[in-house]
Structure 1
Amino acid sequence: MSLQVDNLVGGYSRIPVLKDVSFDVKDGELVGLIGLNGAGKSTTINHVIGLLRPFSGSIKINGIAMQDDIEEYKKQIAYIPEFPVLYKELTLKEHIETTIKAYDLDEQAAWEDANKMLKMFRLENKLEWFPVNFSKGMRQKVMILCAFITNAKLFVIDEPFLGLDPVAVNDLLNLIEEQKKKGSSILMSTHVLDTAERFCDRFVLIHNGQIRTEGNIEKLQDEFGSKDSSLNDIYLKLAKEEANE
């Protein structure tokens, strides 16, 4: 079941940014949230992760709404923001320990997963370092590691590729594929459209706070171009349409 958004109206003030937004992300599915700057992607994400309360409509993860059980709702989510958010007073090891406690994880199993990712991201010798002083790419790796040790039901990933080197991008995509096989759902917002086209199962195209269309690349090609149109071509066509509105 995973994520179900129904008739969502919401935003940051009394004037709604999102207008009757509905979409879902099924178990084991990677859905790309695509749209121009200001289309409503970040506002949608902030509602899904619980930073904003809907004016109306509903958001449920495996049938649980935030207002029904906020702790259980948020435990099902792992969030990787566009800009890493780290605690300046905590070492890398302490970030991992805090994540284990926050999600009530089995410590041994979580550390087994963490150690694999520490080696993957070449961070195994930095456990006593303070990640707040790392480079942007290394801080992003810390966020990815802490998210993926949770084995969450829903991963919400916002512009994950910015600042990552090509090897780390490939490692992240492998982690996403592993989680999909485990049945987790992933909602990913990105402007790296060639990568999204290759790896996303389906797309939700948001425009001016409304869902313009959703479906796989073939459906978007039918609606916005030809069978040879890339996701980038479709995005540029949408941008031209907005310029002429």
Structure 2
Amino acid sequence: MTVKVEHLTGGYGKRPVIKNINFELNQGEIVGLIGLNGAGKSTTIKHMLGLLTPMEGSLTISDININKDVETYRRKLSYIPESPVIYEELTLQEHIYMTAMAYNISREKAMERARPLLKTFRLEDELNIFPSHFSKGMKQKVMIICAFIVEPELYIIDEPFLGLDPLGIQSMLDLMVEKKNENRTVLMSTHILATAERYCDRFLIMDEGEIVAFGNLEELRKQTGLEGKTLDEIYIHVTQGGNNS
């Protein structure tokens, strides 16, 4: 399984936010998508989800092109948004059932996959509760559970740790590593660079709508001439225009 983003240019209207983005994600890796606010991370993600139409370029997962078969393409990924999307009229269990229906998974299979996740995030007694009444952290856990019952080829995760307590953060990281070990792929947008450095196999750094560095930590050090530096130090150097000097 390979995720390919090729010559992607796009945005909101006629003015591009991202310009000629090219990268591949490989099976069984966690990739950190990092950059300043406004760098183009969310726009890239929205194009990968099919929420925005590219001005140019193509997006494929396992050779399925989003423009040729959008339904099959979308079923190959799941998404955890930065801000939880909760339906007021649905219970937690109904959120799980709705996700199952969207991905053509039986209710029985969905609940079988959900039970260990519900236990991990301490929500097993909340199935008949409306998550609209939950705290932000609990709502985020609902998003995580729904995304992980899908078991897709690609997980796209946008700032997953906002609102989570330390135990929730560690559980989320453990899940990502578990899916990586199952040969699935995780693309995680985050500002928590110390955690990204520890858990990600490669890093995709964006600035002003372009990719300015991509690779593992050693490759980033070579690309920037910053031998022995941390991801934090490389990130600050690159986003302050260090690569242009």
Shorter chain as denominator, the TM-score bin is over 0.9
| Corresponding position of 1:193 | 193
For 1:2 and 1:206, how far apart are their aligned partners in 2? 21
CA deviation string 1:102-130 (max 9, x = no partner): 11114333212201011110001111111
Which residue in 2 is equivalent to 1:100?
100
Percent identity between the two aligned chains: 50
Contact preservation (8 Å) 1:225, 1:234: no
Corresponding residue for residue 87 of structure 2: 87
Seen in structure 2, the aligned counterparts of structure 1 residues 240 and 213 have a Cα distance that, compared at 3 Å, is closer
TM alignment of 1:111-190, pairs within 5 A: 111-190=111-190
Q: Secondary structure at the match of 1:17?
A: strand
**Which residue pairs with 1:39 in the alignment?**
39
Q: Secondary structure at the match of 1:7?
A: strand
Letter in 2 for 1:128: N
Tell me the alpha carbon deviations over residues 154-191 of structure 1, each in whole angstroms, 9 at most, x when there is no partner: 10000001111111111111111111122211111000
Structure 1: 5+ residue stretches without partners: none
Assess if the C-alpha contact under 8 Å between 1:80 and 1:156 holds in 2. Answer: yes
In structure 2, how many angstroms separate the alpha carbons of the residues matched to 1:164 and 1:24?
A: 30
Matched, 1:30 2:52: no
Q: Residue 10 of structure 1 aligns to a residue in which SS?
A: strand
Give the match for residue 211 of structure 1.
211
| Partner Cα distance (2:10, 2:240) in 1 | 26
Structure 1 SS opposite 2:235: helix
Q: Deviations over 1:37-56 (max 9, x none)?
A: 11100000000000001101
Partner Cα separation in structure 2 for residue 46 and residue 164 of structure 1:
23
Query: What code does the residue aligned with 1:56 have?
Result: E
Cα distance in 1 between the residues matched to 2:104 and 2:141: 22
The separation in 2 between residues aligned to 1:19 and 1:126, in whole angstroms, is 44
Cα offset for 1:144?
0.2
What CA RMSD, in Å, does the superposition of the two structures yield over aligned residues? 1.5
| Structure 1 residue 225 displacement after superposition | 5.2
Do the aligned residues in 2 keep the contact of 1:2 with 1:153 (CA within 8 Å)?
A: no
TM-score by length of 1: 0.95
Is the contact made by 1:158 and 1:189 (CA closer than 8 Å) also made in structure 2?
yes
Taking structure 2 as the reference length, the TM-score comes to 0.95
Deviation at 1:82, TM superposition (A): 0.3
Deviations along 1:181-207, one digit per CA (max 9) or x if unpaired, are: 222111110001000000000011111
